Amino acid sequence: MLESRLEQADLLKKVVEAISGLVNDCNFDCNDSGIALQAMDNSHVALVSMMLKAEAFSPYRCDRNIALGINLSSLTKVLRAAQSSDILTLKAEDAPDVVNLVFESSEKDRISEYDLKLMDIDQEHLGIPETEYAASISMPSNEFQRICKDLMNISESVSIECTKEGVKFAAAGDIGTGSVTLKQHSNVDKPEQSVEIDLSEPVALSFSLKYLVNFTKATSLASKVKLSLSNEVPLLVEYELSGGNSSYLRFYLAPKIGD
Amino acid sequence: TPLQNDLGEFFYMA
């Protein structure tokens, strides 16, 4: 059986909010290392991959592999009943029909309990090859969100060009063009404001802004975001979850090609 | 406008 307790319901609320624009139904795959999720959007352009390690929970118990097939809009409805600071416990039997969610207020004076019906989801599982990316950029997550939203006013796609000079996000549309260039810089007092660029070779790729803006719904989960790029492979956009236990929310986006 | 690739061209079925 599964029994996992999260100190802050907020974490799951935000994860579900961040991915529900891309995916309707998906399996939460539970095993002794934690809860994982992988799903593609309907158009096969974007993929979300989440890992919540057992260490993100206290306690965490899962004896065998359990797939929880969940409709995300139904889960959103149930999670609306959880206050952000509530303690959230997820429970399921082996081969379950429902997942049980319990929300406790931190003052322990209220306990809410919900059972969410599960569904059978036959999900395609993709293998993601280990990639040595040519460029990786670590930057404030809110800055990335701002850039994507601003450039979406200009065009539906953005080119991301990374050289040793910096990283340039550029868009060209009917009304004109726009670009934002970030140079590497360290902020000692506020490290979350730093921009770090790790480059082995220059990269230039184009992506759909609609998807990138969708990914940035994860912004409130982490102060920083990491973009990893190589020519002619999908972009990886990564948010670290719940500090330092290597839990993550990753998005992959197929590049656009040709002109 | 550039054409949108499919993710399946990069990732294999596991």
pLDDT digit string, tens, across residues A4-24: 999 999 999 999 999 999 999
Position with higher pLDDT, B8 vs A92? A92
Gap between the Cα atoms of A28 and A92, Å rounded: 12
Q: Which residues of A touch B13 (CB under 8 A)?
A: 124-127
Interface with chain B: mutation pick from A125, A126, A235, A253, highest number of B CBs within 10 Å: A126
Q: What one-character DSSP code corresponds to residue A221?
A: G
Distance CA A186, CA A196 (A): 7
CB-CB contact of A49 with A43 (8 Å): no
Residues of A with Cβ-Cβ distance to B8 under 8 angstroms: 44, 126
Mean pLDDT value of segment A84-107? 94
Query: Which strand (E) or helix (H) includes residue A25?
Result: strand A25-31
| pLDDT, mean of residues A59-79 | 96
CB contact under 8 Å between A233 and B13, yes or no, is no
Q: Exposed, middle or buried, A64 (CB in 10 Å: 0-12/13-18/19+)? A: exposed
How do residues A121-149 score in pLDDT, each as one tens digit? 988 788 999 999 999 999 999 999 999 99
ipTM of the complex: 0.90
CB contact under 8 A, A126 and B11: yes
Judge: A129–B13 Cβ closer than 8 Å, yes or no: no
CA distances from A24 to A19, A35, A71, A73, A177 (A): 9, 18, 6, 7, 34
d(CA A57, CA A37) in angstroms, rounded, equals: 16
pLDDT digits 0-9 by tens, A18-41: 999 999 999 999 999 999 999 999
Name chain A contacts of B5, Cβ cutoff 8 Å: 45, 254-257
Cα distance between residue A248 and residue A222, in whole Å: 10
Interface of B with A in 1-14 (CB under 8 A): 1-14
Closest CB to A128 among B4, B9, B11: B11
**pLDDT surpassing 90 at residue A106:** no
Q: Does any CB of chain B come closer than 8 Å to the CB of residue A157?
A: yes
Please give the residue of chain B at the shortest CA–CA distance from A256.
B4
Q: How many helices (H) and strands (E) does chain B have?
A: 0, 2
Q: Write the CB contacts of A81 (distance below 8 Å, at least 6 apart in sequence).
A: A103, A112, A114
Residue A176: half-sphere exposure toward Cβ, Cα within 13 Å: 3
